[in-house]
Amino acid sequence: MTQNIVKFIESVNNLDTKSYSRLKEAIEKRDSVKFVSYMLNNDETEVGRSCPHCKSKSLHKWGIRNDLQRYKCKDCSKTFNVLTGTPLAHLRKKGRWLAYAKCLIDGLSIRKAAAECGVHRNTSFRWRHRFLQNANQIKPEKLSGIVETNELIFAWSDKGNKKLRRKPRKRGYKSVKHIPSKSRVFTLFCRDRGKNTFDDIFLKFSADNLKPDLSKLLTKDTLFCSQNKAVYLKYTKENNVRHGVLSIPKRESVKKDVVHIKNVEKYQFDLQVWMERFRGVATKYLHNYLSWYREMDEFDFKISPETVLIRAKRPERYNTNHFR
């Protein structure tokens, strides 16, 4: 074995520039695969590995395949690896995942990310939504102190679909408000002064639709700040929520030096500016883009590719109904 290594090293010295570059690229690719596999196998954030099939914690190791440790459950006798039951299961080219995570942090388009990582654009599209699948589940369960609330209206988009659920819109419409109500999507944003943000998507913006989310988020000590819109007034009245109201006709921006929604409006403005680079987002994927930006904002846009990858590999906790 030692002689073979010596001969290999001697042969490397005789390689031309092109062959040496190919060898170096192959070694770097193998190193990246090994590094990603090691990181996935030794995830320190994972608490108590369990069987994804029966949730049993009675396991034992069952060999290594594709650089990933496999396990066998003593109760159901099924085997699995660390990616089974996660959004990253069955994806290939592990060595390029960290590079793609960096593309997500930089907010690159599908095609630019594909060119950066050396993959097909369809692969880039698939990876984007697999990596973002868990981000939608990582939301604050409670908001404390002063909670600011506002909503954004998006036009329904069938981008990528061969059939439209509506009549084609002519170009040059003045604003989203000129679009019929059936072609709108409402997005609720709640943000406290600690910069914790919650968002959700609704087809119909009503107090009844808001109640399931707001009842979980708000506590008795919360001060709920919003404009004096009928939806918020009805919800706060029916649920005895402390309400700081800003008058729209009077154009109130701050009330009693405490009640305002400037933080959530700033968040919405930055989100819209950030989303312009994608030149329109399909409504069926809108929740992924909202979660993408929320994750970047949570880490103040200083998140590492390793963190993005580890968060993407977490098992799904529940299925989310994105439209109500």
- Greater pLDDT, 85 or 22: 85
| Whether the predicted pLDDT of 322 surpasses 80 | no
Query: Which residue, 78, 103, 97, 86, is CA-closest to 38?
Result: 97
Please report, as a single letter, which amino acid is at residue 122: N
CA angle 248, 251, 253 (to 5 degrees): 105
- Angstrom distance (rounded) from CA 71 to CA 58: 10
| Cα separations in angstroms, 202 against 57, 156, 180, 232, 323 | 39, 11, 15, 15, 5
Residues 197 and 279 in one domain: yes
Q: Is residue 315 part of a domain?
A: no
Same domain membership, residue 234 and residue 96:
no
| CA neighbours closer than 13 Å in the CB half-sphere of residue 79 | 9
Residue 320: which pLDDT band, with cuts at 50, 70 and 90? very low
**What integer is the mean pLDDT of 41-60?**
83
Q: Which residue has the higher pLDDT, 85 or 318?
A: 85
The tokens 């959004």 sit on which residue?
A: 87
Task: Kindly list the strands in the beta sheet with 184-192, ordered across the sheet, starting from the edge strand earlier in the chain.
Answer: 197-202, 184-192, 146-155, 223-227, 243-246
CB atoms within 10 A of CB 120: 10
Please indicate whether residue 158 or residue 121 has the higher confidence score (pLDDT): 121
pLDDT in tens, 80-129: 998 998 999 999 999 899 999 999 999 999 999 999 999 999 999 999 99
Q: Is 33 contained in some domain?
A: yes
In which band, very low, low, confident or very high, does the pLDDT at 20 lie, cut at 50, 70 and 90? Answer: low
Q: What is the pLDDT of residue 135?
A: 85
Residue 321: the pLDDT is 45
Q: Answer whether residue 183 is part of any domain.
A: yes
Same domain, 191 and 250: yes
Average pLDDT, the chain: 85
Which residues are 209's β-sheet partners? none
Residue 320 located in a structural domain:
no
Name the band, by pLDDT with cuts 50, 70 and 90, for residue 29.
low
Tokens 């690229």, residue?
25
Q: Which one-letter amino acid corresponds to residue 117?
A: C
- The mean pLDDT value for 298-310 works out to 91
pLDDT class for 319, splitting at 50, 70, 90? Answer: very low
The answer to which of 19-33, 43-57, 93-107 has the lowest mean pLDDT is 19-33
Q: Is residue 199 scored above 90 in pLDDT? A: yes
Q: pLDDT higher for 54 or 180?
A: 54
* CATH number reported for the structural domain that contains residue 185 in this entry: 3.30.420.10
The whole-number average pLDDT for the span 20-40 is 74
Average pLDDT over residues 210-236: 91
Model confidence at 250, pLDDT cuts 50, 70, 90, reads: confident
Return the pLDDT at 292. 94
Domain that holds residue 116: 13-131
Could you tell me the two tokens for 33? 């695969």
DSSP 294-312: HHHHHTTT---HHHHHHHH
Mean pLDDT score, 71-78:
92
Q: Which of 296, 263, 271 minimizes the C-alpha distance to 145?
A: 263
For residues 149 and 178, state if they share a domain: yes
Note whether residue 316 is domain-resident: no
| Structural tokens at position 226 | 């919003």
**Between the ranges 4-8, 56-60, 97-101, 134-138, where is the mean pLDDT highest?**
97-101
Verify that 109 and 208 share a domain, yes or no.
no
Give tens-digit pLDDT for 160-191: 888 877 777 666 555 666 666 677 899 999 99
Query: pLDDT category, 247, cuts 50, 70, 90?
Result: confident
- pLDDT for 46: 72
Q: Which of 112, 131, 150 corresponds to the end of one domain?
A: 131
Buried b (16+ CB within 10 A) or exposed e, 250-268: eeeeeeeeebbbebbeebb
Residues 63 and 102 in one domain: yes
Residue-level pLDDT at 324: 56
Kindly state whether residues 44 and 152 are assigned to the same domain.
Answer: no
Q: How many CB atoms lie within 10 A of CB 122?
A: 10
Task: Of 264, 287, 263, give the one whose Cα is nearest residue 275.
Answer: 287
Helix axes 97-106, 121-131, angle to 10 degrees: 80
pLDDT confidence band for 255 (50 / 70 / 90): confident
- For residue 219, what are the contacts with CB-CB under 8 A and spacing of at least 6? 142, 144
Clarify whether residues 147 and 278 are in a common domain: yes
Task: Indicate whether 313 belongs to any domain.
Answer: no
State how many domains the chain has: 2
Residue 314 domain flag: no
Residue 319 carries which DSSP code?
Answer: -
Angle formed by the axes of helices 230-239 and 207-217, nearest 10°: 50
What is the rounded average pLDDT of the residues 5-32? 69
Same domain, 124 and 148: no
Strands (E) across the chain are located at: 59-65, 68-73, 79-81, 146-155, 184-192, 197-202, 223-227, 243-246
State whether 259 and 222 are in the same domain. yes
- 3-state class of 269 per DSSP? helix
* pLDDT band (50, 70, 90) for residue 274: very high
Q: 145 and 102 in one domain?
A: no
Beta carbons of 185 and 290 less than 8 angstroms apart: no
Residues 293 and 148 in one domain: yes
167, part of any domain: no
Kindly tell me the sign of the dihedral angle through the C-alpha atoms of 303, 304, 305, 309.
Answer: negative
Burial (CB < 10 A; 0-12, 13-18, 19+), residue 103, is: buried
